[in-house]
Amino acid sequence: MAMKPSLVLRLGQQLKMTPQLQQAIKLLQLSSLELEIQIQEALESNLMLEELDQEESSDEPTSLDEPDESIDELIKPDTPAEATASEGEESTEDDNAVEFLADPEIDGDVVPDAHQEMVSESIGEELPVDSVWEDVWDESFMSPAVAAAAEYDDENFVDTRNSADLTLQDHLLDQINLLHISDKDRLIALAIIDSLDNEGVLTETLEDILSGFTIDLEIEMDEVVAVLHLIQHLDPVGVAARDLRECLLIQLNQLPDDERWKKDAIKLVSDYLGYLGNRDFSQLIRKTRLKEQQLSEVIKLIQSLNPRPGAEIAATKVEIIEPDVIVTKQKNRWQVELNAKTAPRIRVNPEYSAMVKRADYSDENTYLRNNLQEARWFIKSLQQRNDTLLKVATKIVEYQRGFLEYGEEAMKPLVLHDIAEAVDLHESTISRVTTQKYMVTPSGIYELKYFFSSHVGTMGGGEVSSTAIRALIKRLVSQENPKKPLSDSKIASLLGNQDIKVARRTIAKYRESLMIPPSNERKRLT
């Protein structure tokens, strides 16, 4: 059967995100530190932009002024026909445009083509704009931190980034270098130190370490053991131990001889550490022949030791948090305002903008026009970001006023949909504006997402936030009898007495999230 060519016409929808909307969404999801870098880069690259002091007045629109329209208003089309296009034809839009349906976070929203609107609004209809979005903004939409790292080669960037970190290995090597030991012992020490994990535990056997040396070095096992004992008594004491028992014994032997319970603690750790791990105090009393009060003192001494001595030296990265929103209580009212440090005042420089000549198509004037357009787009995107952040934060404070007044136990159940309905925004916008955005309150600094939590039903038909339940569990555990700690079933029963219906497995899940051990591990003699 012969095949005949045919032509089929199909209609479909193709939704695009305009450059203006792309920039607005990009700025909205940036953290405060990333936004600061983004603003600084814009100030350096665009001569039309300048930063104002908080007290300085300006006739030009600034980034802290209210926007003409919200981000979600930019997404809504005027007519359904604006989103209709031929499925088979190639798109003539900007190459940086993103297919809207490909973004699962903005399901169901429609994006109009607002490019011409921005051109006419910013510069005037009679002036042609010979520029495209890609000439100014990176189409990859990398975060500022990633973009800055790309300016350096990988090796130099890693060296610079980690130059101030002190690892456990570095700490031990510094001490080894101060010791007067032979080159052979120094080589053994390097091998042992390289075999330590971040907590200071020796991950390789002595046999494996010995087998790693060449025969011509003539290293014996006795030499490896001697160097190991040397390292174990460096700072921190107990590092390079092969198990918990050895780590604790090293620290106990370092205690002064006049320590009252030293010998008893050594005997308990050497012979009965398993009973101590299982909290079998009756067996410990019988085997050690100690009275209950004496055993309690011995256990206190053991608990004062560090089972992971290397963890204190291991490098930790400090995360700097700059709050985006400041919440204060003034005259019995909660006030919400943006942090001036994370929301600087940016405006178009009036002197440079006055240099733009209408109907002048020279290269210099075209350059100024392009910068002017980009500056106004950037300021408008900042306005939309600040306005959206302030509206969402204010509504969160209204919902969670009880938390601000009384603490975690008064936290109300809250989901993204509740705030989205209250401020008339899409849930995806709420998700972006609450991610990596922080609020400082009289009780501390919290990420905006912290105020959102699931709910548990009550016997009376009400709802209780999961955060409030965690706080109740924490309080009950802190008030329990250490000799008879509360089980998960008992905690569920106590919450039931408060009209909160929670299953035992849910209590166990919440308890584990709070890093609270089970009841058998919380048992104490006193």
- Which domain CATH number covers 468? 1.10.10.60
Same domain, residue pair 441 and 461? no
- Strand pairing category for 16-17 and 49-52: unpaired
Burial of 472 (0-12, 13-18, 19+ CB in 10 A): buried
Same domain, residue pair 142 and 213? no
* pLDDT(303) > 50: yes
Averaged confidence pLDDT in the chain:
79
∠478-483-485 over CA atoms, to 5°?
50
Segment holding 236, helix H or strand E: none
Give a yes or no: residue 11 inside a domain: no
Same domain, residue pair 278 and 326? no
Among 452, 473, 498, identify where a domain stops: 452
Same domain, residue pair 346 and 444? yes
Same domain, residue pair 121 and 219? no
Same domain, residue pair 463 and 445? no
Give a yes or no: residue 75 inside a domain: yes
Q: What are phi and psi of 444, to 5 degrees?
A: 140, -175
Among 425, 452, 479, identify where a domain stops: 452
- Where does the pLDDT of residue 58 fall: very low under 50, low under 70, confident under 90, or very high at 90 and above? low
* pLDDT(338) > 70: yes
* pLDDT(145) > 80: no
Contact 163/185 with Cβ under 8 angstroms?
Answer: no
pLDDT recorded at residue 316 = 57
Same domain, residue pair 201 and 336? no
pLDDT recorded at residue 3 = 73
- Side chain identity at 183, as an amino acid letter? D
* pLDDT(123) > 80: no
- Where does the pLDDT of residue 437 fall: very low under 50, low under 70, confident under 90, or very high at 90 and above? very high
* pLDDT(262) > 90: yes
Give a yes or no: residue 443 inside a domain: yes
Same domain, residue pair 328 and 287? no
Give a yes or no: residue 275 inside a domain: yes
Task: Spell out the long-range contacts of 332-341 with Cβ–Cβ below 8 A and sequence spacing 24 or more.
Answer: 334/397, 334/401, 334/404, 336/390, 336/393, 336/394, 336/397, 337/390, 338/64, 338/386, 338/389, 338/390, 339/32, 339/440, 340/54, 341/32
Give a yes or no: residue 1 inside a domain: no
3-state DSSP percent of the chain in helix, strand and coil, to 5: 50, 10, 40
* pLDDT(208) > 50: yes
Say how far apart CA 229 and CA 61 lie, in whole Å.
70
Same domain, residue pair 43 and 156? yes
349-401 pLDDT per residue, tens: 888 888 887 768 888 888 989 999 999 999 999 999 999 999 999 999 999 99
Segment holding 327, helix H or strand E: strand 325-330
Q: What pTM, to 2 d.p., does this model score? A: 0.62
- Where does the pLDDT of residue 521 fall: very low under 50, low under 70, confident under 90, or very high at 90 and above? confident
Same domain, residue pair 406 and 493? no
Same domain, residue pair 448 and 467? no
Range of the domain at 111: 20-163+322-452
Say how far apart CA 78 and CA 81 lie, in whole Å.
9
Kindly report which listed range (48-62, 191-205, 325-339, 439-453) carries the lowest average pLDDT score: 48-62
Give a yes or no: residue 3 inside a domain: no
- Where does the pLDDT of residue 267 fall: very low under 50, low under 70, confident under 90, or very high at 90 and above? very high
Say how far apart CA 493 and CA 353 lie, in whole Å.
70
Give a yes or no: residue 12 inside a domain: no
Give a yes or no: residue 408 inside a domain: yes
Q: Tell me what percent of the residues of the chain surpass a pLDDT of 70.
A: 76
Say how far apart CA 210 and CA 223 lie, in whole Å.
10
Same domain, residue pair 139 and 256? no
| Count of structural domains within the chain | 3
